[in-house]
Amino acid sequence: MDVDPRLYEQIAVNDNDIHNIIMSYLVHNCFKETVESFIACTGMKQPSDYLEDMEKRKRIYQFALEGNALKAIELTEQLATNLLEKNKDLHFDLLSLHFVELVCSRKCTEALEFAQMKLTPFGKEQKYVEKLEDFMALLAYEEPEKSPMFHLLSLEYRQHVAESLNRAILAHGNHPTYTAMERLIQQTTVVRQCLNQEHAKDGPPPFSLKDFLKS
């Protein structure tokens, strides 16, 4: 069975709560112009320094997404001192983006030199060995985008690294790493899963955002 809409349709939702949820999403994803328009329309107040940091995060995110990892690293070190020093996994991922860009530009000698200088030291830890092998294997292919490791060259991979970097910067500034909207969906999903397990066949089906949006 599904949850009867009559159980929640009469529950009042405060407009300010909705505004805060929307604002959380916009700020998290660095939609500065939309944030400013939203503030003007709703009369909400947002600290100016938060908007300034958002602009810096947006630039960092964009550089990482474009594969300009060295610039992303430079700006990250200015905004969040020691972040990458403490987060080696993220630092490795960013350096690997630069390596990939060199490979894609067919600058194989430069890529190899960069790997030996910046990536090889990570090989002292076992968890990086397999990753290093995958990246270094790209050098063996004339068309690395057709290699078994083609996903390392994809927009999806760059987006994953850029999003991880954005979350890490937010955490460094003591801001939530997930938007209020994401946390609501996560909590709703967990609650529905627990209800489903508790009531077995008589419980509601697992929460599906896709199905919910259609309802």
Mean pLDDT of the chain: 88
pLDDT the model gives residue 202: 64
Write the CA distances from 199 to 34, 70, 151, 185, integer angstroms: 43, 52, 41, 21
Please check the confidence at residue 110 and state whether its pLDDT lies above 50. Answer: yes
Token pair 């090889």 is found at 120
pLDDT at position 155, please? 95
Region of residue 208 (phi > 0: left; psi between -120 and 50: alpha; otherwise: beta) = beta
Contact assessment for residue 52 and residue 37, using Cβ atoms and an 8 Å cutoff: no
Would you state the pLDDT for residue 10?
73
Q: Which of 142, 137, 60 is nearest to 99 (CA)?
A: 137
How confident is the model over 116-153, as pLDDT tens digits? 999 999 999 999 999 999 999 999 999 999 999 999 99
Predicted confidence band at 1 (pLDDT cuts at 50, 70, 90)?
very low
CB environment 4-26: b (16+ within 10 A), e (fewer): eeeeeeeeeeeeeeebebbbbbb
**Of 1 and 49, more confident:** 49
33-92 residue pLDDT tens: 898 899 889 988 775 666 778 889 999 999 999 999 999 999 999 999 999 999 999 999
Closest CA to 178 of 188, 192, 189, 164: 164
* Structural domains of the chain, ranges and CATH numbers in brackets: 11-194 (1.25.40)
Backbone angles phi, psi at 115, to 5 degrees: -60, -45
Mean pLDDT for the stretch of residues 187-194:
78
